[in-house]
Amino acid sequence: MKRIRLIALSLAGLVVAGQALAADFKQALVQEGQLTIATTGNAPPLTLVNSDGSLGGFDVALCERIAQDLGLKTEFVRVDFAATIPGLKAGRFDMICSAVARTPARMASPDLYLSEPTVENFTTLVVPKTSDITTVDKGRGHRIGVVRGGQEGPILAKIFDGDVSVTTYPGIAEEMLDLKNGRIDAVSMNYLTARFHARDEEGMTVLEPGFVVESTSPYTHGLVVSRNEPDLLTAVNDVLARLKADGTIDKLKATWIDGK
């Protein structure tokens, strides 16, 4: 009987601890009762704008499901990628769900937390099918577009040691437009998004394999949480573990990534 009582007390303690955790992360939210989430809407198939103007994509659907499991509403705020992390640091957002790579620098940042991995990816180049850039290493000496604040710029600088002309853009749509108009020779972006764009652009192709840089590419994506909300990170990771175990994440990948 004593052992049964101890087990019951332990279980009760876990319930109380879980309730305390829920209360802690919910009290720290930017807006009571909701997750305020930054996303760009322009890194398909991870974050995109549907034909009806609504947001969609793997990251968006995943964050909506996480919020649902946490008993919260969602409020997505569309911003340029370069504004996502500063906005998180300034307390405007609780999370970033926008194709964020889990780089060593971000993992070590004093201002943010990265969740457990969600999907695998790597950095590559999109080029016209007529281009003389037939492998990623032949990008040397060319004009390459990158999204401002992304990891592609540092990768190009490291691999080509300055022997490349890098132009930064607020988003993927802008750099792809310049690529089609011949103002740049290639665009560097994550493979999943590059594949999505190349399917809609008959004259473009995605280079495989992509860049290989230790701890940087290939890489995994994650969701970003403010350092001011550590209990939210714990709650998000708990939900991610459940969604992986029950097959929900695989279903979201099939819908938004494999099917796109």
pLDDT category of residue 21 using cuts at 50, 70 and 90: very low
> Domains along the chain?
18-120+220-258 (3.40.190.10), 123-206 (3.40.190.10)
Check residue 4 and give its pLDDT.
Answer: 40
pTM of the model: 0.81
Q: What is the DSSP string of 84-153?
A: HHHHHHTTS-SEEEEEEE--HHHHT-SSEEE-S---EE-EEEEEETT-S--SGGGGTTSEEEEETTSSHH
Check residue 97 and give its pLDDT.
Answer: 96
**186-199 tens-digit pLDDT:** 999 999 999 998 88
Which of 174, 122, 192 shows the shortest CA–CA distance to 151?
122
